[in-house]
C-alpha cells in the first residue's frame, strides 16, 4: 500500500512491480495478483491486493522454530529417512508461526506441524517450479531470498516481492544502471561486478535460498561485512560450506548453482528434475511407513500433497 502518491520514486517502484505482476500471470508457486485499489487515490493512497499467505516467510519461520525442527537425515548413509518423523512424533510439539494477524479477535497465533527435512526439499522443489515459470515468462526476479518465500496452507510456498524484477525484452541479459540498495549476498560475481543479470544470476540466488533453508534460516556469509570483501572472496573461489541439515546430494545442487561460469549453472527445469529425484524415494518411504497421528486437517503429507510434489502436473499453470 502506498500512503503518499506524491513521492514519485515510491510510485515509480510500485508501478514497476505492478506491471511485472500483471504480466506474470498465475502460478501456484508465485504470489498472485488479485487486484489494485485506486478509489482513494485522491487521498494519496494506492493499494495492491495479493493472495494471503498466513504463515509468513520461511526465513523467519525456520529461524523462530529451530528447536522443533525434525532432522530426518540418516548420517550413516547420508540420506533422508522419512521414518524418523514417525519415531520422533511423540516428542514433536506444535510450533508457532511468526504471522501476526491483528484483525483476528480470537488469536493471532497460527500453528503448523513441526518442519522436517522433507519439507525443506519439497519447498526447494516448489521454488524451482515457480522460478521455472518466471523464466518461461522472461522475468528476472533479482531478489530471490528465503525472506521472499511465503508459506501457505497445504505446505505450498510462493515466491513474492517483485520490486526488483525486470522483464527481458529481446536480450538474454539485463544490465542495471540505476544505483539502489542491493541484496549483494545473493548475487553472483557477474552481477556484483558488471551489473549483469540473467536467468543464471537467479539460479545463483536459488542456491543461496536452498542454503538458507537447510541452515534453518541462517544468514549467508555471516562473517562478510562489505560488498568488496564478498567480491574478493568469490573471485578467490570461496563458497558457502555445507549446511548442517543438508545431505551431500542436496549440497551438490547448491554448489552447481554457484559455478563461476554462469553458462554451466543448471537452469530451473534441470533443478526441478534433480530435486524431484531426491523427493521420490522420500515420499515412497512415507507412503509405506508414515501414519499421520494428528488430525487429518493438520497432516501435511496427505495423498494430495504427495501427488503434487512427485509429478509434473503442477506445470499446467504455465
Measure the CA–CA gap between 49 and 99, rounded to whole angstroms. 18
Closest CA to 46 of 54, 35, 56: 35
Q: Which residues are catalytic?
A: 143
DSSP tag of 58: H
What is the distance between the alpha carbons of residues 85 and 46, in angstroms, rounded to a whole number? 46
Cell 513474492 locates to 160
Cα–Cα distance for residue pair 311/315, rounded to 1 Å: 9
Instruction: Map grid coordinates 540473467 to a residue.
Output: 198
Cell output for 18: 505492478
Cβ(243)–Cβ(275) under 8 Å? no
**Is the CB of residue 52 less than 8 Å from the CB of residue 46?**
no
Helix residue ranges, H only, 25-82: 58-64
Residues in contact with 234: Cβ distance below 8 Å, sequence separation at least 6, in sequence order: 188, 189, 192
Beta bridge partners of 14: none
Alpha-carbon distance 241 to 201, whole Å? 20
Amino acid at each position: 500500500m502506498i500512503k503518499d502518491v506524491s513521492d514519485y520514486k515510491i510510485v515509480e517502484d510500485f508501478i514497476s512491480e505492478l506491471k511485472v505482476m500483471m504480466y506474470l500471470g498465475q502460478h501456484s508457486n508465485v504470489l498472485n495478483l488479485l487486484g489494485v485499489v485506486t478509489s482513494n487515490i485522491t487521498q494519496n493512497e494506492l493499494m495492491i491486493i495479493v493472495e494471503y499467505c498466513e504463515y509468513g516467510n520461511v526465513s523467519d519461520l525456520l529461524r523462530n522454530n529451530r528447536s522443533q525442527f525434525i532432522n530426518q537425515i540418516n548420517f550413516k548413509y547420508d540420506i533422508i529417512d522419512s521414518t524418523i518423523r514417525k519415531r520422533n512424533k511423540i516428542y514433536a510439539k506444535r510450533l508457532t508461526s511468526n504471522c501476526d494477524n491483528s484483525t483476528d479477535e480470537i488469536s493471532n497465533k497460527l500453528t503448523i506441524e513441526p518442519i522436517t527435512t522433507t519439507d525443506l526439499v519439497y519447498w526447494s522443489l516448489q521454488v524451482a517450479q515457480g522460478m521455472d515459470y518466471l523464466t518461461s515468462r522472461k522475468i528476472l526476479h533479482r531478489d530471490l531470498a528465503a525472506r521472499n518465500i511465503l508459506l501457505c496452507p497445504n505446505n505450498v510456498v510462493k515466491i513474492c516481492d517483485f520490486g526488483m524484477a525486470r522483464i527481458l525484452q529481446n536480450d538474454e541479459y539485463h544490465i542495471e544502471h540505476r544505483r539502489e540498495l542491493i541484496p549483494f549476498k545473493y548475487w553472483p560475481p557477474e552481477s556484483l561486478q558488471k551489473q549483469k543479470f540473467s536467468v543464471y544470476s537467479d539460479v545463483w540466488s536459488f542456491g543461496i535460498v536452498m542454503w538458507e533453508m537447510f541452515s534453518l534460516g541462517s544468514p549467508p556469509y555471516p562473517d562478510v561485512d562489505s560488498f568488496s570483501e564478498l567480491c574478493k572472496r568469490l573471485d578467490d573461489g570461496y563458497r558457502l560450506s555445507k549446511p548442517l541439515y543438508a545431505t551431500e546430494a542436496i549440497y551438490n545442487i547448491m554448489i552447481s548453482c554457484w559455478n563461476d561460469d554462469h553458462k554451466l549453472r543448471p537452469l530451473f527445469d534441470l533443478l526441478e528434475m534433480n530435486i524431484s529425484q531426491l523427493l521420490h524415494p522420500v515420499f515412497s518411504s512415507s507412503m509405506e511407513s508414515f501414519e499421520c497421528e494428528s488430525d487429518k486437517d493438520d497432516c501435511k503429507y496427505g495423498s494430495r500433497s504427495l501427488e503434487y510434489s512427485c509429478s509434473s502436473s503442477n506445470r499446467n499453470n504455465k
